[in-house]
Amino acid sequence: MSQQQSAAPATATTTVTRRRDWWRDAVIYQVYPRSFADSNGDGMGDLEGVRSRLPYLRDLGVDAVWLSPFYASPQADAGYDVADYRAVDPMFGNLLDADALIRDAHELGLRIIVDLVPNHSSDQHEWFKRALAEGPGSPLRERYHFRPGKGDNGELPPNDWESIFGGPAWTRVADGEWYLHLFAPEQPDFNWEHPAVGDEFRSILRFWLDMGVDGFRIDVAHGLVKAEGLPDLGGADQLKLLGNDVMPFFDQDGVHEVYRQWRHVLDEYAGERIFVAEAWTPTVERTANYVRPDELHQAFNFQYLSTDWDAKELRTVIDRTLEAMRPVGAPATWVLSNHDVTRHATRFANPPGLGTQIRTAGDRELGLRRARAATLLMLALPGSAYIYQGEELGLPDVVDLPDEVRQDPAYFRGAGQDGFRDGCRVPIPWTREGSSYGFGGGGSWLPQPASWGELSIEAQTGVAGSTLELYRTALRVRRTQSDLGAGEAVEWLRAPEGVLAFRRGEFVCVANTSGESVTTPAYGRVLLTSGEVTEAGGEAKLPADTTVWWTTA
């Protein structure tokens, strides 16, 4: 007997509920604006498009929407190169559109979290343009990292740091000095030792808080402060060190004073506004430093995102995460996909190391089955969860994009990251048909596969067993089950090899990560499953790559 369930949308609310500590168990949905919905038919998503689709997000059952950057930008790195932090880029609309979006979201019971990019600006930012024009020794150059080069004539970079996107982390300007950019050359790093930088960003925080936003996701939160003297790494393999060790340009202890100052600003505002750190650190224990009571509220759990679909590895990272967050009183966060990584419906289709390669239809089915099971596991864990747009449709990465349409700057640098982030950024499908499957009336800025229509929201809505209905049901159950959401611990239950089983009060979750069917106790009434489950004689048979939710009540 199948116990799989489809469901009605979450109950709507008319205003943001002022629930205390809402962020401790929030489900936050990431919108990548250029790829979500296009209101004017120019092929690029925009804020009015997002606004028009807010009822969909309300009905999906999420608590908050995180918007990737929509600020004025030359778009050298999809808006993460900001030229003006107080303006909306014309491709996305204007400040009135942002205001309307925030107001409508609040009326629908949704909170809005905006991206903030404090590690670097665009090279078209007014500060940087003036720094170039005013030359060496000028006050504006002190707000960035300008340095003379090494070598007889200053022809060598000031140190051996490499860009995350590949190649040197330094670019030489016409007057002979070099400037630091940990990402693309169009993204010069701010010098956070200069007081004007801190003053400016506290002002930027207040600007958007006054607009009504409910929080900020802090891009490269671990990167603001550099080690004194900008020391060489001495020939170390920097790509292997990233996320695995403290580096002179990442996860320096001085960054925490910045966030203590920011917390004072946030606490001036009512409504429990929050900070979320994108902090790539070597361990969850170091991540916990960012969410101490006087700093930020949440930090992305990249250790969990990077874990394979393997019961033993997952249990280890779950235990370490909960243990690390407990002393600082912060909620754990759980995430499977975002705009910078291969979607988990593709990632889980392959053995470790194969990346975005999908070889057969069977691979796609395996990836989707594991992705569905992984989603139910994630949503059952204590804390807050993040959903990346389109994962509720089971979207895979688009791996066969032509070279000429790619826009990821890492792709063109030829080293560093794999440069294939465009594959997870293809505009999502809303309808079965149309030039862009309902994304907009004028095509899409990245081409969508022919199969997109059958994965669309229209095609999956109301269809029992569809991935979209699985998400809707899971979020509704998560909201109504008192033992789900916030918490500090799970009670692990005995389970066969390759299986995770835990209890939270009267709720039980069992996830079979193995490639074989397994038999477990039937723990009570089935609430939801990611696949077909049969029960007989007090036992349950779980197919490979399946997660089940039970209640013992």
Q: Which residues are catalytic?
A: 219, 278
Give the separation between CA 316 and CA 326, rounded to whole angstroms: 16
* 404-409 LR contacts (CB < 8 Å, sep 24+): 405/446, 405/447, 407/78, 407/446, 408/78, 409/76, 409/77, 409/165, 409/183, 409/184, 409/186
Which H or E run contains 146? strand 146-147
> Coil, strand, or helix at residue 24?
helix
Length reported for the chain:
553
Q: Alpha carbon of 428 to those of 6, 34, 68, 270: distances in Å?
A: 22, 10, 15, 35
Give me the DSSP letters along 219-283: TTTT-S---TT----TT--HHHHTTTS-BTTBS-TTHHHHHHHHHHHHTTSSS--EEEE----SS
Count CB atoms within 10 A of the CB of residue 12.
Answer: 10
**For residue 422, what is the DSSP state?**
G
Q: Supply 259's token pair.
A: 């966030």
Give the separation between CA 119 and CA 274, rounded to whole angstroms: 19
Question: Phi, psi at residue 180, to the nearest 5°?
Answer: -85, 135
Q: Supply 407's token pair.
A: 């826009």
Give the separation between CA 3 and CA 465, rounded to whole angstroms: 10
Q: Smallest Cα–Cα separation from 195: which of 156, 126, 143?
A: 143
